[in-house]
Amino acid sequence: MTDINQIAAALEDKEYKQAAQLIKQLQKESPENPWVQYYIARYYELTKNLEKAQTTYKQILRDITNPKIVSQTRQAIQRLETAQQNLRQQAIETAKNDPSNLEPGLLILEPVSPENKAAAVQNISRIFKIDAYTTRMQIQSRGWRLYKTGPIAELRIYGQELLNAGIPVFWATLSDIQKIQIFRVQHFQSLSSPAVVCKDKLDRLGAIEFSWSEVSQRVEGLLPMFIEVMDYSPNRRKEQFRHREIRQDYAQICDLHIPSRNCILRICDQSYEFQQGVDFTKASADLPTSPNQKNKKSRVKNSQQMPQSTTRINWNNLLEIFERQLDVTVWSEFTPFAETVLDYTNMLSKIESHIEVERKSETPWDSAFQLYSGLAFLRNEKNRE
């Protein structure tokens, strides 16, 4: 009968082929022996199959109560985590030898489904060495979260490790976002053969013709509009008045992504010239519906059930046209993403928003939308490769 000590000796002597044969024999002779699973994990560890080793060791902690095996398993898991950290750090330092890998970047955590949340918490906590409670609070069920910033070399390595653990993430550099051309649409000249009058980053006015098939996706968002008010603030010593900002309304914004031209057409209800070009009240009714859109509900009909301003009606008619002409992904979870980035004021201050909204003072919300749309653009490009 196979002896446990034989297996241990073969592994110690690096006779891995012999050890594998002895483990198989022990599985046949004594499948209930709790040491079988331990030495399978130990074999994986010593032959550098670290993922399988870690999975097997964790399975042991769930299935086996033998104190000696549990103790040795905990020590093994600690060894593996230390080894992974060392390998990660070596890879980061090697990557940093290339100056392009030092560019500032962002690591974005995508939504995690409820059934995968427990595993995600465990893996993120392990990779970043943080407690489970903090990790649980950072995981979102909808929308993206800006999880980490830093040199792109470091983020790429962390991101790949997270992907290998089944956690949905992606990463990008700020410079790649800044390379995307943004054109601020003033008005549509035509819809059947779409053409827009727009401004570039230097405020030069021009026209762009394109086809609906070039648009790969849409990004929609609401930008808060603030007003300053006097706030009465009593305290024990004296009454005080102070200035503070409150949200008065929202500006609506919609981006059309055209990856073949590396550009975004940006449309905002606060700056769009509804009195110029296409009359959306007529166009929404006259323009034929794309075959892919026949089963979609009209947002215009729903929106007109209550009194609205002419701008709001025209805006809804414009979005209705996009829904009918574009069978593309719509990214519309800007607000939960923005709430994870607004505290990164230094980073946002370096991002030009390309948004025309009259404000008394700048707000990070505008740059946050530019960041959100740029990330969606790059993510889509990565998926198309």
Residue 91 makes CB contacts below 8 A (sequence gap 6+) with 157
Token pair listed for 229: 């008010």
What's the mean pLDDT when you consider all of the chain? 86
pLDDT of residue 78: 85
pLDDT of residue 272: 95
Buried b / exposed e along 268-302 (16+ C-beta atoms within 10 A): bbbbbebeebbebeebbeebeeeeeeeeeeeebee
Tens digits of per-residue pLDDT, 57-98?
888 988 888 889 999 999 988 888 887 777 777 777 777 777
Token pair listed for 82: 């230390």
Between 236 and 106, residue with greater pLDDT: 106
**CA–CA gap between residue 32 and residue 210 (Å, rounded):** 68
| Distance, first Cα to last Cα, the chain | 55
Alpha helices (runs of H) in the chain, residue ranges in sequence order: 4-12, 16-29, 34-46, 50-63, 67-95, 117-128, 132-138, 152-164, 174-178, 280-286, 299-303, 310-325, 334-341, 345-348, 364-384
pLDDT of residue 286: 55
Q: Is the pLDDT of residue 231 over 70?
A: no
CB 40 within 8 A of CB 23: yes
Of the candidates 322, 327, 278, 279, which has an alpha carbon nearest to the alpha carbon of residue 300? 322
Q: What mean pLDDT is predicted for residues 93-116?
A: 86
Q: What mean pLDDT is predicted for residues 293-310?
A: 47
Q: Which residue has the tokens 């040199």?
A: 151
Buried b / exposed e along 74-83 (16+ C-beta atoms within 10 A): eebbeebeee
Domain boundaries along the sequence of the chain: 4-93, 100-176, 181-384
Angle ∠(311,315,319) on CA atoms, nearest 5: 175
Of the candidate ranges 49-53, 107-111, 290-294, 352-356, the one whose mean pLDDT is the lowest: 290-294
pLDDT of residue 193: 92
Indicate the Cα dihedral angle 19, 22, 23, 26, nearest 10°: -160
Sign of CA dihedral 351, 356, 361, 365: negative
pLDDT of residue 304: 36
Q: Is the pLDDT of residue 306 over 90?
A: no
Of the candidate ranges 51-55, 139-143, 188-192, the one whose mean pLDDT is the lowest: 51-55
Tens digits of per-residue pLDDT, 166-198?
999 999 999 999 999 999 999 999 998 999 999
CATH architecture of 4-93: Alpha Horseshoe (1.25)
What are the φ/ψ torsions at residue 199 (nearest 5 degrees)?
-115, 145
Of the candidates 107, 117, 108, 119, which has an alpha carbon nearest to the alpha carbon of residue 143? 108
pLDDT of residue 301: 38
Between 293 and 203, residue with greater pLDDT: 203
Tell me what percent of the residues of the chain surpass a pLDDT of 90.
Answer: 51
Q: What mean pLDDT is predicted for residues 238-262?
A: 81
pTM (2 d.p.): 0.75
- Please give the single-letter amino acid code of residue 367: S
Per-residue pLDDT band for 162 (boundaries 50, 70, 90) equals very high
pLDDT of residue 300: 37
**CA–CA gap between residue 18 and residue 31 (Å, rounded):** 19
CATH 3.30.1390.10 fits 100-176, yes or no: yes
Q: What mean pLDDT is predicted for residues 124-130?
A: 88
